[in-house]
Structure 1
Amino acid sequence: MKQFEYGKPMLRQGDTGDWIGTFLGHKGAVWGATLNKDATKAATAAADFTAKVWDAVTGDELFTLAHKHIVKSVDFTEDSSHLLTAGQDKLLRIYDLHKPEADPEQIGGHTSAIKKALWYNNDRQIISAADDKTVRLWDRASMTEIKTLNFNLSVSSMEYIPEGDTLLITYGRTIALYNSSSLELIKSFEAPASIHSASLHPEKDCIVAGGDDFKLYKYDYSSGEELESYKGHFGPVHCVRFSPDGELYASGSEDGTLRLWQTAVGKTYGLWKCVLPEELVSENSDSIYNTSAEIKA
Structure 2
Amino acid sequence: MTSIADSSPMLRNGETGDWIGTFEGHKGAVWSVCLDTNALRAASGSADFTAKVWNALTGDILHSFEHKHIVRACAFSEDTRLLLTGGIEKVLRIYDLNRPEAPPREVDKSPGSVRMVSWMHSDQTLLSSCTDMGGVRLWDVRSGKIVQTLETKSPVTSAEVSQDGRYMTTADGSTVKFWDADHFGLVKSYNMPCTVESASLEPKYGNKFIAGGEDMWVRVFDFHTGDETACNKGHHGPVHCVRFSPGGESYASGSEDGTIRIWQTGPLTDHEETKSHAANGSVGKVKVSVEEVSQKIGGFHIAEEGKTKEKE
TM-score (norm 2): 0.85
Q: Aligned to 2:222, which of 195, 205, 220?
A: 220
User: How many residues were matched structurally?
Assistant: 281
Matching residue of 1:200: 201
Match of 2:70 in 1: 70
Preserved CA contact (<8 Å) 1:215 1:229: yes
Structure 2's unaligned 5+ residue stretches are 269-287, 296-301, 308-312
Taking the aligned partners of 2:267 and 2:235, their CA distance within structure 1 comes to 18
Report the residue type matching 1:197 in the other structure: S
**Aligned residue in 2 for 1:211:** 213
Secondary structure of 1:2's counterpart equals: coil
More deviation in 15-24 or 109-118?
A: 109-118
Partner of 1:29: 29
Partner of 2:235: 233
Q: Distance in 2 between matches of 1:236 and 1:66?
A: 31
Q: Is the 8 A contact 1:212 1:237 kept in 2?
A: yes
Following the alignment from structure 1 to structure 2, what is the Cα–Cα distance between the partners of residues 123 and 209?
27
Task: Summarize deviations over 1:176-203 as a string: whole Å, max 9, x none.
Answer: 0000011100001111110000111012
Is the aligned partner of 1:136 residue 2:134? no
Q: Distance in 2 between matches of 1:84 and 1:253?
A: 25
**Separation in 1 of the partners of 2:59 and 2:147?**
38
Q: What is the TM-score of this pair, normalised by structure 1? A: 0.89
Contact 1:265-1:290 within 8 A present in 2 as well: no
Letter in 1 for 2:250: L
Letter paired with 1:120: M
CA contact (8 A) 1:207 1:221 kept: yes
Distance in 1 (CA, whole Å) between partners of 2:149 and 2:25 is: 36
Distance 1:157 1:275 in 2: 29
1:110 positional shift: 2.2
Aligned to 2:173: 172
Matched with 2:271 is none
How far the C-alpha of 1:289 sits from its partner, in A, is: 5.2
Q: Residue 269 of structure 1 aligns with which residue?
A: none
Which residue of 2 is the match for residue 250 of structure 1?
Answer: 252
Describe the SS at the equivalent of 2:110.
Answer: coil
**Counterpart of 1:206 in structure 2: which amino acid?**
K
Structure 2 counterparts to residues 115-130 of structure 1, below 5 A: 115-130=115-130
Q: CA deviation at 1:78?
A: 2.0
What CA RMSD, in Å, does the superposition of the two structures yield over aligned residues? Answer: 2.4
Structure 1 residue 228, shift from structure 2 partner: 1.9
Gaps of 5+ in 1: 267-272
How many angstroms apart in 1 are the aligned matches of 2:25 and 2:37?
Answer: 23
**SS of equivalent to 2:102:** coil
Bigger strand fraction? 1
Structure 1 residue 291: Cα displacement: 3.5
Question: What is the CA-CA distance between 1:64 and the residue it aligns to?
Answer: 0.5
